[in-house]
């Protein structure tokens, strides 16, 4: 029996997917939204964590790190993510979090999710081909971590002065970062850079 | 038998929800993503169209108008939407499109979706209580249509000059609109106004 913790923020979707998976005789399925995932993880101790990369909190960035917390007497759960090729920033985060499985939710049927869970439970990789272009874009992420911090604050509505204050930079340096970000993302201006970066899941 | 057309852009979710609904003996279920919905609607001629308000195209605004096209020899399908209270802009659009049913996807189980479909098929309203605050906010939408057009163009990355050009306004008038929008949304600046408006589904 493979113990699975399904993480998804939309109740309607989570219930329907969990019910689908529960009909598979070899899967023991538990489910949770993102905000209670860490606690459920400790209680359920799943073999596989199957997590949707869309998260309704934290500006849409899922707290993947919280799913791979190590405990003394056991190995951490294997991670499978439900992803989209058009959000390369989220794919990159999943790679960094050590996910073994990548199911394309824009193209896959639930059967494919079940197959992915079984592969990942064996410690093997499972990657939908249709995510390929997304991975390519993820590898080509143009912004540095510092530039991303600047852009995240700008996207929250912070002014140049506020960004400078919170990152301990001069106003001129923040302006230089913003210019570099706009150029590197191929944007027309600051707002366009935020739009492009959010659309791709960098922010 | 109630003929239902389920409209949802995420394949994995659509398949799981459709399969769930197909187990109900009184529902005949068809499913489609948004971009092929108008054609499927003409082919399937459903009694109820159950549509998710998240749409992956068109900057996230679902083309609800295309679901209520009248044909000569029959009444248009009844519309039920799967919605969230925190996107009042989308709720408002659903109201304007004449939706009879409103299922809160953040809180509802699939049973509730099935119940809503049956109610709406009888021509009755079906509204999840938990969406109440969303409807209240929808009624308090602070921006005029003109202001929304200006803000939509700004959110796409257009400059003041480009916005002025496409809406046949002077630069000063566009600046005045932007100032009014920032004030009315309680935003700190233009980027903040876009963030707030997108978050609530106005844009």
Q: Name A52's bridge partners.
A: A82
Residue B89 or B34, more confident: B34
Query: Does the distance separating the beta carbons of A110 and B191 come in below 8 Å?
Result: no
Q: Nearest CA of chain B to the CA of A156: how many Å?
A: 6
pLDDT at residue B112, rounded to an integer: 94
Helix (H) or strand (E) holding A112: helix A110-121
What pLDDT is attached to residue B75? 77
CA of A96 vs chain B CAs: smallest distance (Å): 24
Determine if residue B27 is left, alpha or beta; phi over 0 gives left, psi from -120 to 50 gives alpha, anything else beta.
beta
- Is A58 within 8 Å of chain B by CB? no
What gap in Å lies between CA B157 and CA B88, rounded to an integer? Answer: 23
Contact B32, B5 (CB under 8 A): yes
Mark yes or no for CB contact A11/B108 under 8 Å: yes
Distance from C-alpha of B50 to C-alpha of B77, rounded to nearest angstrom = 10
Q: Residue B140: its pLDDT value, please? A: 75
Number of Cβ pairs < 8 A linking chain A and chain B? 103
From the list B198, B185, B85, the residue with the least C-alpha distance to B142 is B185
User: A9, A12, A52, A160: which to substitute to probe chain B, counting the most B Cβ within 10 Å?
Assistant: A12
Q: In this predicted structure, what is the pLDDT of residue B58? A: 57
Same fold, A2-139 and A145-199: no
- For chain B, the domains span 2-139, 145-199
CATH 2.40.70.10 fits B145-199, yes or no: no
Which tokens is B68 given? 């209520």
Q: Tell me what the mean pLDDT of segment A175-184 comes to.
A: 94
Task: Tell me the chain A residues in contact with residue B113 when contact means C-beta distances shorter than 8 Å.
Answer: 12
Q: Which helix (H) or strand (E) holds B31?
A: strand B27-32
Query: For residue B136, what is the DSSP state?
Result: H
CA B4 to mean position of chain CA atoms: 18
Which residues face A126 on adjacent strands? A101
Q: Which of A79, A68, A64, A89 is nearest to A127 (CA)?
A: A79
CB contact under 8 A, A9 and B108: no
Cα torsion at A189, A190, A194, A196 (round to 10°)? 20
Q: pLDDT averaged over chain B? A: 89
Closest Cα to residue B200, out of B129, B150, B151, B128?
B151
Coil, strand, or helix at residue A54? coil
Are A106 and B10 a contacting pair at CB < 8 A? yes
**Nearest-Cα residue of chain B relative to residue A187:** B157
Structure confidence at residue B134 (pLDDT): 84
- Give chain B's largest Cα–Cα span: 61
What's the CATH number for B2-139?
Answer: 3.40.50.2300
- pLDDT reading at B40 higher than 90: yes
CA distance linking residue B109 with residue A27, whole number of Å: 21
pLDDT for residue B50 is more than 70? yes
For residues A54 and A81, give the distance between their C-alpha atoms in angstroms, rounded to a whole number. 10
Segment A38-58 mean pLDDT? 89
User: How would you classify the pairing of strands B27-32 and B2-7?
Assistant: parallel
pLDDT, tens digit (0-9, with 9 covering 90-100), for B170-202: 999 999 999 999 999 889 999 999 988 888 878
Separation between Cα atoms, residue A73 and residue A81, nearest integer Å? 25
- pLDDT confidence band for A202 (50 / 70 / 90): confident
Q: Under an 8 A CB cutoff, do A13 and B13 touch? A: yes
Half-sphere exposure of B105 (CA within 13 A, CB side): 23
Question: What is the mean predicted confidence (pLDDT) over B36-41?
Answer: 92
For A64-81, give one letter per residue: b (16+ CB within 10 A) or e.
beebeeeeeeeeebbbbb
State the Rg of chain B over Cα.
19
Which residue among A10, A157, A189 sits closest to B159, beta carbon to beta carbon? A189
B191 vs A contacts (CB less than 8 Å): 154-155, 157, 190-191, 194
Query: How large a percentage of chain A has pLDDT more than 90?
Result: 58
- Mode of pairing for the β-strands spanning A101-104 and B2-7: unpaired
In chain B, residues with a C-beta closer than 8 Å to the C-beta of A188 are 157-159
Give the lowest-confidence range in A51-65, A170-184, B184-198. Answer: A51-65
B15/A106 touch (CB, cutoff 8 Å), yes or no: no
Mind listing the pLDDT tens digit for each residue in A121-169?
Answer: 999 999 998 898 888 778 777 888 889 889 989 998 899 999 999 988 9
What is the pLDDT, as a whole number, of residue A32?
96
Could A188 and B113 be called an inter-chain contact, meaning their C-beta atoms sit closer than 8 Å? no
ipTM associated with this complex: 0.70
Is the Cβ pair B192, A9 closer than 8 Å? no
Which tokens hold the place of A130? Answer: 């249709």
Q: Write down the pLDDT at residue A27.
A: 97
The answer to whether residue B3 neighbours chain A at the CB level (below 8 Å) is no
CA–chain centroid gap for B169, Å, is 29
């Amino acid at each position: 029996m493979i113990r699975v913790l399904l993480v998804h923020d939309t109740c309607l979707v989570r219930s329907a997917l969990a019910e689908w998976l529960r009909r598979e005789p070899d899967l023991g399925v538990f489910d949770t939204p993102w905000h209670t995932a860490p606690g459920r993880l400790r209680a359920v101790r799943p073999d596989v964590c199957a997590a949707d990369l869309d998260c309704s909190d934290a500006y849409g960035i899922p707290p993947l790190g919280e799913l791979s917390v190590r405990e003394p007497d056991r190995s951490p759960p294997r991670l499978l993510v439900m992803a989209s090729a058009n959000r390369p920033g989220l794919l990159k985060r999943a790679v960094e979090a050590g996910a073994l499985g990548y199911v394309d939710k824009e193209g896959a049927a639930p059967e494919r999710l079940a197959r992915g869970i079984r592969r990942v439970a064996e410690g093997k990789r499972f990657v939908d081909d249709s995510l390929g272009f997304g991975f390519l874009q993820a590898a080509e992420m143009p912004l540095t971590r510092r530039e991303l911090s600047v852009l995240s604050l700008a996207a929250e509505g912070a002014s140049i002065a506020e960004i400078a204050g919170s990152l301990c930079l001069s106003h001129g340096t923040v302006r230089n970062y913003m210019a570099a970000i706009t150029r590197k993302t191929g944007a027309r201006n600051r707002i366009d850079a935020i739009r492009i970066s959010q659309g791709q899941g960098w922010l």
